[in-house]
Amino acid sequence: MYGLGLEFWSRLFVILGIALLLISLFNALMRKVLNVKRRKFFSYNHVNDRHKKLDWFIRIGFIGMVILSYPFTLQPYSNWFLQPWFLIFVFFIASETVRAIMEYKYAKNRRDYLYTLSSLLFVTVLLTILFSTQFFGFID
C-alpha cells in the first residue's frame, strides 16, 4: 500500500487532539488566574500601530526566510535550522515575544503580557517534549 496508512492518521489526530486540549485547558486556567479577557482565535488583535508594523515585518521576514531556505532543504544533508518546521517554531516565538513586549509597555491590563509569556512557555515546552519523544512513540 502506498502513502500513509489509517493507523498513522488516527494516531496523529489523537496526539494533536490531546495537545490542543492541553493548550486550551492551560489557557483557560491562566485566564482565570490572571483575570485576562479571552482573545479571538487566529485574529490580528494588535496592541497599537507599532505592534502591527512589527508583526507584519516579522511575518514578511518569515516568508522570505522560507523562500530563501527552500533550495537548501532539498539537499540530502540540509541544516536543521533551515527546515520549515524550525522556521515556524522561531516565527511563533518571535511573534509572541513581540506581543508580550508590546502588552507590557502599552496594554491597558498589565497582566496581559504574563498570560502571553506563560502561554508561549507552555506551548514551547509541550512542542519540545512532543518532538523530542517522537510524539511519545506514537509516530514512527
Condensed to tens digits (0 to 9), the pLDDT of residues 59-103 reads: 999 999 999 988 888 877 778 788 888 899 999 999 999 999 999
* Residue 1: pLDDT band with limits 50, 70, 90: low
Domain locations along the chain: 6-137
Instruction: Give the separation between CA 92 and CA 83, rounded to whole angstroms.
Output: 15
For 22-63, write each residue's pLDDT tens digit.
999 999 999 999 999 888 776 678 889 999 999 999 999 999
For 12-23, write each residue's pLDDT tens digit.
899 889 999 999
Instruction: Give the separation between CA 27 and CA 69, rounded to whole angstroms.
Output: 33
For 102-113, write each residue's pLDDT tens digit.
999 998 888 999
Q: What is the pLDDT of residue 42?
A: 66
Q: CA separation (Å) from 71 to 63, 67, 92, 95? A: 14, 8, 23, 25
